[in-house]
Amino acid sequence: MGMLKSSVAFLVLAFAFFFCYVMSSGSYDYFQFVQQWPPTNCRVRIKRPCSNPRPLQNFTIHGLWPSNYSNPTMPSNCAGSEFKERKLSPKLRSKLKRSWPDVESGNDPRFWEGEWSKHGKCSEQTLNQMQYFQRSHEMWQSFNITEILRNASIVPHPTQTWTYSDIVSPIKAVTQTTPLLRCKFPPKSQTKSQPKSQATSQLLHEVVLCYDYDALRLIDCNRTAGCGNQQAISFQ
C-alpha cells in the first residue's frame, strides 16, 4: 500500500514538473509577425505623447510573437535567457534601428528587450536571441507593406476610408497568404468635431503576417480580424 502511495505521489510530482516546464518554456504553433503604423501609435497615446513629434511614415516591427491556435495571446513571459544587447552584432543593431524602432519613447534597445522578454523567450528553442532579431528584420525586408499599399493607391489620407478587404487584397496578392489587420479607435476627444462618417471610423494600426513553427514559411493567418469588419478604415 505504502509503495502504491509513493508511486502515485511520484507520478503526480513528475506530471506537475512536466506541466510547469511546458508552461514556462512556451509551446507554440506558429508566429505572428506584427508590423505597426507609427502615426496610429502616436495618435492614440494622448496621455504620454510620442517622443518624436513627427512619427515615421512607414510600417515598422512591433514584434514576432510565437502563438497558439487555441489562444493566440499565449504563450508569453516564458522562462529563457535574459536580453543582452551585445548578443546582437553592431550591423544587426543598425538594421534594427530602421526596421524595429521604438516609435513611442525612442528607446530602441528597451523596446527590443521588452519584446524578447514577453515573446522571444517563448520560442528560444527555435530562434536564439540573435536569430530572433535577424529573422524578424528579414521578414520586414521581404515584404514592404508600405510599398504594397502605396502601389494599390492606399496612402495616408485625412478623410478617405477603405474597407477591410480593400487593404487585405493587395497584401494577399503579393504574399499569397491571408494577413490580419488590427485597428484602433481614435480618442473621443479627437473625433467630436468630425462628421459622423469619420468619427466612427477606425484607424489602421497593425498588419500581421503569419509564419509556420520554424519562422520560415508564410501561412494564412486564421484569427478573426482585429478591425471591425463592417466598419470603414482610415489610414492617416
Residue 62: active-site member: yes
Give me the phi and psi of 198, to 5 degrees please: -85, -35
**In this structure, how many other beta carbons lie within 10 angstroms of the beta carbon of residue 214?**
12
Nearest distance in Å: CB 63, ligand 5GP: 5
Catalytic one of 62, 104, 205, 206? 62
8 Å CB contact between 127 and 215: yes
**In this structure, how many other beta carbons lie within 10 angstroms of the beta carbon of residue 127?**
19
- Choice between 104 and 124, CB closer to ligand 5GP: 104
Nearest distance in Å: CB 117, ligand 5GP: 9
> What are the beta bridge partners of residue 184?
203
Residue 157: active-site member: no
Nearest distance in Å: CB 73, ligand 5GP: 8
Q: What is the CA radius of gyration of the chain?
A: 21
Nearest distance in Å: CB 115, ligand 5GP: 6
Residue 205: active-site member: no
- Choice between 103 and 127, CB closer to ligand 5GP: 103
Which parts of 99-118 interact with ligand 5GP (CB under 6 A)?
A: 102-105, 111, 115, 118
Query: Residue 59 and residue 107: Cα distance in Å, rounded?
Result: 18
Which parts of 26-55 interact with ligand 5GP (CB under 6 A)?
A: 36, 41
Q: Show the 3-state SS of 77-136.
A: CCCCCCCCHHHCCHHHHHHHHHHCCCCCCCCHHHHHHHHHHHCHHHHCCCCCHHHHHHHH
Residues 60-99, one symbol each (x = binds ligand 5GP by CB under 6 A, - = not), give --xx------------------------------------
**In this structure, how many other beta carbons lie within 10 angstroms of the beta carbon of residue 21?**
11
Determine, following the binding rule CB under 6 A, whether residue 58 of this chain makes contact with ligand 5GP.
no
- Choice between 40 and 201, CB closer to ligand 5GP: 40
Q: Where are the alpha helices (DSSP H) in the chain?
A: 2-25, 38-44, 90-99, 108-118, 129-142, 145-151, 164-175, 188-191, 196-199
- Choice between 105 and 131, CB closer to ligand 5GP: 105
Determine, following the binding rule CB under 6 A, whether residue 129 of this chain makes contact with ligand 5GP.
no
Nearest distance in Å: CB 15, ligand 5GP: 30
Query: Residue 5 and residue 77: Cα distance in Å, rounded?
Result: 36
**Residues annotated catalytic, as ranges:** 62, 115, 119
Note the residues at the interface with ligand 5GP (CB under 6 A).
36, 41, 62-63, 102-105, 111, 115, 118
